Amino acid sequence: MLGMTLGFSLMLAVFWIFRGAAISRVDKGFRVGQLFSAAAYSLGHGGNDAQKTMGIITAVLIAGGFLGTAADGKMPEPPLWVILSAHTAIALGTLTGGWRIVKTMGSKIAKLQPVGGFCAETAGAITLALATHFGIPVSTTHTITGAIVGVGSTKRLSAVKWGVAGKIVWAWVLTIPMAGLIAAVCYFMILGINKIVG
């Protein structure tokens, strides 16, 4: 919701600021601006998503007895190899499989011009920065989707392909219960194997 509100607000502000400017000139400026907004969003992506991955791996290492808790009983800092692995996995995942997601986000939810892309990326980056600052794990996909919907809605509501946005929302809704169900099945399978072997 924050990404959508920020995207909507930024787009309205940009429309108002550049209301008398030539479209071609504005687009050219925002093409350059997108280099910075995309970089800021990428930093937010690594800062939030990689942290979640590192936290899970560190918790598994502690549960398995491979890593001890800190003297005060708190979770220790993740080992360097965990940090590097998490960031490498995020970078490689984005490099190899990210283009299909980019295509969906950039053209299938709403058609974005450079100004819209800049506003959506900036709104997503701000949302991720705030979430990371307050230690709130969020999905980068959720933040950018909300921002794109917000930006697209400034033109007209029909500019947003609500069917595609609805599918993404269903994926969000189903992710947590399905992940929990799969984890429970895996847990009981391993428990059963351990009893048989053990």
**Residue 106: per-residue pLDDT:** 67
Q: Rounded CA gap, 112 and 38, in Å?
A: 14
172 and 188 belong to one structural domain: yes
**Residue 98: per-residue pLDDT:** 67
Question: Could you tell me if residue 135 is left (phi over 0), alpha (psi between -120 and 50 degrees) or otherwise beta?
Answer: left
* Overall number of domains in the chain: 2
C-alpha torsion 56→61→67→71, nearest 10: 40
**Residue 126: per-residue pLDDT:** 93
156 and 166 belong to one structural domain: no
Please, are residues 170 and 186 in contact by the beta-carbon 8 Å criterion? no
Q: For residue 195, what are the domain limits?
A: 161-198
103 and 198 belong to one structural domain: no
81 and 179 belong to one structural domain: no
Q: Rounded CA gap, 35 and 176, in Å?
A: 33
**Residue 127: per-residue pLDDT:** 92
The pLDDT profile of the chain, 198 residues, written as one tens digit per residue, is 788 888 889 888 988 888 877 777 888 888 898 899 989 988 888 888 888 888 889 988 988 888 887 777 777 888 999 999 988 888 888 788 767 777 776 677 778 888 888 999 999 999 999 988 898 888 888 888 888 888 888 877 766 777 777 787 788 788 889 999 999 999 899 888 888 886
pTM here?
A: 0.74
Tell whether the torsion through CA atoms of 3, 107, 30 and 42 is positive or negative.
positive
Please, are residues 75 and 59 in contact by the beta-carbon 8 Å criterion? yes
116 and 168 belong to one structural domain: no
166 and 88 belong to one structural domain: no
183 and 151 belong to one structural domain: no
Q: Please give the biggest Cα pair distance in the chain.
A: 76
For the chain, what is the total number of helices (H) and then of strands (E)? 6, 0
155 and 182 belong to one structural domain: no
103 and 171 belong to one structural domain: no
**Cβ atoms < 10 Å from Cβ of 118:** 25
